Structure 1
Amino acid sequence: MRFILILLTVLGVLYAYIGHQLVGVLSQSPAWKVAEWLLLGLTFALIAWLPLVRWNQEDEKEGHALKTQEFLEWGAHLSMGILSFLLLFCLLRDVVLYPVHRFHPFQFPLYGDQATVAILVLVFGSLAIGIIKALGPPRVKHVKVVFPNLHPGLEGFRIAQISDLHIGATIKKPFVAQVVAITNALQADLIAFTGDIIDGDLRVLREDLTPLFQLRSKLGTFYVTGNHEYYWGVEPLVQALADQGLVPLLNEHRRFDVAGATLVVAGVTDASAGHYDPVHASDPARALGEAQGDLKILLAHQPKSAERAEKAGFDLQLSGHTHGGQFVPWTWVVKWVHQFSGGLGRLGKMWIYVNLGTGYWGPPVRLGAPSEITLLELTRG
């Protein structure tokens, strides 16, 4: 509860700042000012509803109650996007442009009705573009991973990676089916799902999950848990996926013979899993065990597992979690938070690839970090 109070206090301060910057600028009418504050208050209330009510619900909603809940979630997540862009452009004006303007005055006013209209156009223009990009099909990103001593049998081996799908109130069955169709068309040798499949009660989302059961590749589909699985109940989801042929790798591995080469595919539980269940504590060394192979791949939701993975002896780690920040300004912030925030990187002798996310979390917005299904091809060089 303390965390929620701190969160709401910070949220209130941010809204007070935005209100101070924008309310009453376009019109001095008292009624207009009240309407503007009420509109800001509505978006504040929708965001506050998430931690106060939605994330604490344990009962299964049905019918009209479920529709109402999903409608409120849409409103809350859109409000988060609006808040982010309002903060971005207000702070850009106050912190960046205003000091410059003091020494080198611009030809246009930084404050007043014209500036306010410009901010609102930028906010809702960015939001609209971001929504279109988020709700559209994820791109396929082709990545070649070069190993100097790759076994000839693994030359050209292809892995399709899906990550951070976040099936929930705003990502439903049609989007999931689209992801599956795109992935299957790649005809990969192996499919890796690096966590955060759902964001909600499995009892409600089970039907939206069903297209994933049609994923096809030569060696199968392998899955590791993300942090969001632990928010909603990890065991029922893992069991539901396993029942349909998706292979969970919970600190364990599988070995395959690929054209005379031995491939080890291991997976760990999420880096935070031990906080929810000590049995699920993430352990790359345990996942690999004593397995020997020509190439050892680790699936780990969070890229921060990389140091332990490299020490354990893995050659390649596939991760997600960061979403690449998902949209500006968070695409800039994420680079300060994570050593590996997106794309291909190197730690010691190990490659690490961080998928930017196939779905999205929170605001249905993608701007500066496009959603992706990754097709990784192993090659010698």
Structure 2
Amino acid sequence: MAVPGRPAQNGTAVKLAVRLMMLSLVLALLFGVPWWTLVSAPTGGSGTLFWIGTAIAAAALVCLPLTMFLGHGPAQSDPAVIVGDTLLGVLWVVFSWSVIGLLVRGALAVGGVDGVDGARIVAAGVLVTSAVLIGWGVSEARRVPRVRTVDVAIRGLARGLDGLRVVVVTDTHYAALNRRRWSERVVEVVNAQRPDIACHAGDLADGSVVKRQAQVDPLGKVEAPLGRFYITGNHEYFGDAQGWIDYMASLGWQPLHNQHSVLTRDGDRLVIAGIDDPTGVGLPGHGPDLPAALAGADPSLPVVLLAHQPKQIADSAAAGVALQISGHTHGGQIWPFHYLVRLDQPVVAGLSRHANNTQLYTSRGTGFWGPQLRVFAPSEITVLVLHPER
């Protein structure tokens, strides 16, 4: 006799088992390669250094999933977030260069340097390289981003709008580390660019309005005479998306929640629109709706669209959008993670052209998510200077 609900329970158990197995395999790989490269091979698998290194690796192996769960799970512990995210970033750097170290060791073996001697040379190289990149990466992540100015030719842009300055910040990810002073300095730099339009392209903060509003408050001082516009990213939907929409509105930013606005300068007009992140489909009344965002817009006017993820470009091109502005990728944030990002997104960073002559600008992001590291993926405050297409 069948037991009601048993198939669903079995299916859930199988999915959980698969996820745990995948997590175990990933952790085994992330920790196993550095352990072999830095501990086992150069010590010959014995001795005091071997056991000390193994103990450190084992402690980190236990600490990482525990702190990630405490930080990003129901407890939402900020100290755990800081420890877990930092450990994850350090591990990724060491793992990546350990893989490269194994390739170098193979080359050394071909050259006649093999065994423990070759392993020690590789271990020293990996340790020094990782330490330098981690130190530099922390500095890059915490600095006020450099300004990147890009001229963009827009089809159908009227001459009265030539030289329009659109300043873009995105992926600020205000989180466990208090970055209020950094936020104030970002606003100073944004205002120094004399923006006509200011945009925040999503992933504003990780956490509730109550916990993060002090870091976000400086954005209320951004000055842009034609408007300040904000859209949701995927991370808003991991918390309180509607709360952040309402809070940004209270700071004087106009949320473009599947909406558009018509901007006018010297009698000439431009449509700026925004759509929700695809993650929003799980929240009633949210999720990207480009037809709704463009409903009622004059089809003869060029459209600049804020859409958090670059892969939303397919719908934008089909709708005849002139320029889509996105973030989300962080440029990979920690090399060589951009290769994995590229599997999910059509573009990692920069200006690109797509179907129907639609252009896409993908920012590397203004802040960082998780590990306070940026390696070969510098942050940016973007100034897009619009010109009529000739």
Does residue 16 of structure 1 match 2:32? yes
Q: 1:367 aligns with which of 346, 357, 375?
A: 375
For the pair 1:358 / 2:361, whether they are aligned, the reply is: no
With over 3 angstroms needed to count, the CA separation of the structure-2 counterparts of 1:58 and 1:91, relative to structure 1, is closer
Decide which of 53, 57, 61 is 2:70's aligned counterpart.
Answer: 53
Gaps of 5+ in 2: 1-14
* Residues 45, 200 of structure 1: alpha-carbon distance in 2 compared, 3 angstrom cutoff: farther
How has the CA–CA distance of structure 1 residues 299 and 234 changed in structure 2, closer, same or farther, with 3 Å as cutoff?
same
Give the alignment partner of residue 201 of structure 1, picking from 208, 217, 227: 208
Q: CA deviation at 1:278?
A: 4.2
**SS across alignment from 1:254:** strand
Match of 2:338 among 306, 331, 338: 331
- What does residue 63 of structure 1 align with? none
* Residue 180 (structure 2) aligns with: 173
Shift of 1:13: 3.5
Q: Name the aligned partner's letter for residue 84 of structure 1.
A: W
Aligned to 2:60: 43
Aligned CA distance change for structure 1 residues 46 and 216 (closer, same or farther; 3 Å) = farther
> How many residues are paired up?
370
Q: Is the 8 A contact 2:108 2:118 kept in 1?
A: no
CA shift in 2, pair 1:28/1:281, >3 Å: closer
In the TM superposition, what whole-angstrom CA distance separates every residue of 1:311-343 from its partner, at most 9, and x where no partner exists? 112111000000110121113433343211110
Question: Kindly tell me: are residues 359 and 97 of structure 1, through their superposed partners in 2, closer, same or farther at Cα, counting changes over 3 Å?
Answer: same
* Contact persistence 1:323–1:357 (CA under 8 A): yes
Letter in 1 for 2:203: D
Counterpart mapping for 1:112-261 below 5 A: 112-147=119-154, 149-170=156-177, 172-261=179-268
Instruction: Please report how far the alpha carbon of residue 138 of structure 1 lies from its aligned counterpart in structure 2 after TM superposition.
Output: 0.2
Residue 65 of structure 2 aligns to a residue in which SS?
helix
Code of the residue aligned with 2:35 in structure 1: it is G
Q: Matches of 1:254 and 1:155 in 2, distance apart?
A: 19
Residue 118 of structure 2: SS of its match in structure 1? coil
1:263-318 superposed Cα distances (whole Å, 9 cap, x missing partner): 111100002211x2142121222211131153211000001111101111211100
Q: Structure 1 residues 295 and 242 mapped into 2: Cα distance closer, same or farther (>3 Å)?
A: same
| Distance (whole Å) between structure 2 residues aligned to residue 362 and residue 309 of structure 1 | 30
1:201 Cα deviation after fit:
2.8
* Separation (CA, whole Å) in 1 of partners of 2:385 and 2:64: 41
The answer to whether the aligner puts 1:376 opposite 2:381 as a matched pair is no
- 1:148/1:197 Cα in 2 relative to 1: closer, same or farther (>3 Å)? closer
In the alignment, the residues of structure 1 paired with residue 145 and residue 169 of structure 2 have an alpha-carbon distance, to the nearest angstrom, of 10
The Cα shift of 1:34 comes to 3.3
Deviation, 1:257, is 1.9
Q: Once the two structures are superposed, what CA deviation does each residue of 1:324-375 show, in whole Å capped at 9, x if it has no partner?
A: 1012111343334321111000112211100100001111111211100000
Aligned residues of 1:261 and 1:294 also touching (Cα < 8 A):
no
Question: 1-side partners of 2:206 and 2:29: how far apart?
Answer: 28
- The answer to whether the 8 A contact 1:47-1:80 is kept is yes
RMSD: 2.3
Give, in whole Å, the separation in 1 of the partners of 2:118 and 2:177.
36
Per the alignment, do residues 108 and 188 of structure 1 end up closer, same or farther by CA in structure 2, a change over 3 Å counting? farther
Deviation at 1:101, TM superposition (A): 4.6
Report if the CA contact (8 A) 1:257-1:263 is conserved: yes
Note if 1:71 corresponds to 2:79: yes
Amino acid at match of 1:283: D
Unaligned runs of 5+ in 1: 60-68
Residue identity matched to 1:76: G
Deviates more, 1:151-160 or 1:281-290: 281-290
TM-score under structure 2 length normalisation: 0.88
What do residues 98-126 of structure 1 show as CA deviations (whole Å, max 9, x unaligned)? 55455555699873323212211111111
| Aligned equivalent of 2:12 | none
Give me the TM-score of the superposition, normalised by structure 1.
0.90
CA distance in 1, matches of 2:278, 2:245: 17
| Helix, strand or coil at the partner of 2:278 | coil
Hey, what's the Cα distance between the residues in 2 that align with 1:201 and 1:47?
24
Shift of the 200–47 alpha-carbon distance from structure 1 to 2, 3 Å rule, reads farther
